[in-house]
Structure 1
């Protein structure tokens, strides 16, 4: 059985969301907390059947899912909160509760803060560093001759936070610094980084 499926393939019909759209928006405004069941699973997110609203087409998009998590499976019970309405295709967007818990961790991190973490992945775009439960930062590899020779997976390093993008749930980091500097704030220009905060993608 494929890990991806549409609601109709699981014996669950897709409702006529257009005819009920005005009522759906009225009873499910942004901020509404919901409970429901996963009825479809695609690479871009999961479709939900919401308790008490069988006519609503509800989607939890993967762009709000932390990298360390996986999409819930069909039949799984979930909770969440409404975050958008799409008039063009009559969909209600939600962020799942466990995803939102991760987003609430980001305010702990501040630009200029020195932190320690473990390298979890080395990729063409940069080095990923685990900072906290389900929170990773990225040391971008930019410039004319980017290199990963100084890094190994599993390595413990200390770095300075360059940017914290709460909207896109991203933390960009600078080059490694001395571990003892992690006991306090360090000047932003203490070391030369490969990344200009103004060029954040």
Structure 2
């Protein structure tokens, strides 16, 4: 099987979503918790067969997926919450529970803040440090008090937030000054 497929390509029944749309919107309002199975996978997200709603198709789009996560596979069981309805194509928008557990943590970091982290990679441009689940920052060579060779992967270290770029989802770090 290919990495990507449409719901009808996996031996699953494709529901008649159009005729059941009014009822689907009524019983699955925004905020409803759901569970279901992934029945299709595309580069833009996954399609879900929603438990107890045989004529409803959910779509979890990647624009809501944290950058450190991967799309669930066809057949995988997931949970989530209804976040929108699309009348034009009869889809129920879902944000997956596992994605909300890894929500974007970037906004909680502020310039000047000193935090602890673990070295994840030593590169020619500097040291990458994991600050939280799904959040890494870069200490460029110019921001290091010691040569990069003196650090090792897995090492704990304190760093100071020098810049947070929300558009590029990047954090620039320095070693804190005494």
TM-score when scaled to structure 1? 0.66
Distance 1:100 1:116, change over 3 A: same
1:92 matched residue in structure 2: 92
1:106 matches 2:102: no
1:10 matched residue in structure 2: 10
1:178 matched residue in structure 2: 176
Q: Secondary structure at the match of 1:88?
A: coil
1:136 matches 2:148: no
Alpha-carbon contact 1:138-1:171 (below 8 Å) kept: no
Alpha-carbon contact 2:79-2:97 (below 8 Å) kept: yes
Q: For 2:14 and 2:128, how far apart are their aligned partners in 1?
A: 39
Q: Secondary structure at the match of 2:25?
A: helix
Q: For 1:19 and 1:55, how far apart are their aligned partners in 2?
A: 9
1:40 matched residue in structure 2: 40
Q: Secondary structure at the match of 1:54?
A: coil
How many residues are paired up?
A: 166
Alpha-carbon contact 1:37-1:48 (below 8 Å) kept: yes
Distance 1:46 1:22, change over 3 A: same
1:62 matched residue in structure 2: 62
Structure 2: state its 5+ residue gaps. Answer: none
Q: For 1:176 and 1:61, how far apart are their aligned partners in 2?
A: 35
2:24 matched residue in structure 1: 24
Structure 1: state its 5+ residue gaps. Answer: 142-146, 181-201
2:80 matched residue in structure 1: 80
Alpha-carbon contact 1:116-1:179 (below 8 Å) kept: no
TM-score when scaled to structure 2? 0.73
Alpha-carbon contact 2:49-2:56 (below 8 Å) kept: yes
Alpha-carbon contact 1:162-1:171 (below 8 Å) kept: no
RMSD over equivalenced CA pairs, Å:
3.5
